[in-house]
Amino acid sequence: MLIAATALKVIVAMPGGPGDTVSAEKPLMHLFALWENNAGLPAHTLAGTYYPQHQAAEEALAAETPQILALTPAAFFAREKSLKLTPIAQIAVNHSPSETGYIVVRKETPDDVQALKGKIVLTTLLSDPSSKSLFTLADGTPLATFVKLEYERSPLSSLKKLRAQEVFAVLLDESQWNGLEQLPFAAEMKQLTKTQPFPRPIIAVTPQVDKGVVAQLQKGLLALNRDASAKDLLSQFSVDSFVLPDEALLQKARKRFHSK
C-alpha cells in the first residue's frame, strides 16, 4: 500500500477547467497544495495533470493508472470495476452533486416535447460520447433514443446554430442555462423541457491508496469548502464545493450507463 509520504499520481479528466493542460498546471498544483494542507498530508504528496479534452484523457489513462482520479460520470462508470475505484467525493455546485440539463428551442416552437422526436440536439455535454446514456427526459425516456444528440464544443456556437435554424434544439448544462439571459438574442429562445438530474464529476481512489490516506484525502476535500483561500481557485475548475458521494444518484446513473 502507498503511504502518505509517497507521491500519489492524480489525473483530473473533465471539462470546465482553466483552458488547456499547460495553463492548468499552476492552478492545479496550487489546488493540490491546499488539498494536502487541509488533509494533513505532507507537501508534494499529490502530483498530476489536468486534461480538459476527452481524447487526451483517454490516452493518458491508457498509458498509466493513477491512484486518484477526478472523472466525468461516464468515464468513472467505464472504469469503476476494472480499476476497483472507490468514490470519495463529488464535485458540487450550490452544494449539489447533481445537475439538470435544459433543452432550449426557438421561441416559436410549440410547447410539446414530442416536437423534439428525431430532431438534432446540439450539446457540449458529449465531449465523452458514452455520456449519451446518462441523459433522460422527465418521463425516463433515454434522450439519445428520442433525438439525435450531437456534440458541439462551444455553447455559443450551438446557440447561434439554433438561432439560424440549423438545428432544432440545444441541450445546455446549468451554468450555460444561467448564462443564456446575458446573450443579446436570449429573448428569441425558450426552455422546452428539462432532463432528469445526472451526476457531477466524481473523485475516486484505487485500492493502492492506504485506507488511512483515503480518509485524509476525503477529509481534505471537504475541508476545502471552508477554506476561503480555495474559493477562487476552485472556481477555475467550475467547482464551488465538494460533497460526499450521492450513492443513490450514482446508482441510478450507473444503471443507465450500463444498460446502453
One domain for residues 180 and 224: no
pLDDT on residue 6? 67
* pLDDT tens figures, 104-137: 999 999 999 999 999 999 999 998 889 999 999 9
- State the total domains in the chain: 2
Closest CA to 203 of 190, 217, 216: 217
Residue after which a domain boundary falls, among 143, 166, 196: 196
Percent of the chain past pLDDT 90, that is, above it, reads 82
Q: How many CA atoms lie within 13 A of 71 on its CB side?
A: 28
- Report the CATH number at residue 169: 3.40.190.10
Question: For 176, phi and psi rounded to 5 degrees?
Answer: -65, -40
One domain for residues 107 and 179: yes
Closest CA to 189 of 122, 97, 259, 118: 122
3-state DSSP call for residue 165?
coil
One domain for residues 175 and 106: yes
One domain for residues 208 and 169: no
Alpha carbons 31 and 86: distance in angstroms, whole number: 21
pLDDT on residue 3? 45
One domain for residues 33 and 146: no
Angle at alpha carbon of residue 20, lines to 221 and 236, rounded to 5°: 40
- Give domain status of residue 110, yes or no: yes
Residue after which a domain boundary falls, among 175, 196, 217: 196
4-8 long-range contacts (CB < 8 A, ≥24 apart) are 4/41, 4/42, 4/45, 4/210, 4/212, 4/213, 4/216, 5/42, 5/45, 6/45, 7/44, 7/45, 7/46, 7/47, 8/45, 8/46, 8/47, 8/66, 8/67, 8/68, 8/209, 8/213
pTM passes above 0.95: no
- Give domain status of residue 145, yes or no: yes
Q: Per-residue pLDDT averaged across 236-254, rounded?
A: 95
Confidence of residue 193 (pLDDT cuts 50, 70, 90): very high
Residue 257 has pLDDT above 90, yes or no: yes
- Give domain status of residue 1, yes or no: no
Alpha carbons 252 and 142: distance in angstroms, whole number: 13
One domain for residues 64 and 175: no
Find out whether 16 and 237 touch, Cβ atoms under 8 Å: yes
What is the residue range of 165's domain? 101-196
- Give domain status of residue 91, yes or no: yes
Q: Per-residue pLDDT averaged across 29-37, rounded?
A: 96
Average pLDDT across the chain, whole number? 93
- Give domain status of residue 3, yes or no: no
pLDDT on residue 74? 95
pLDDT on residue 249? 97
One domain for residues 112 and 188: yes
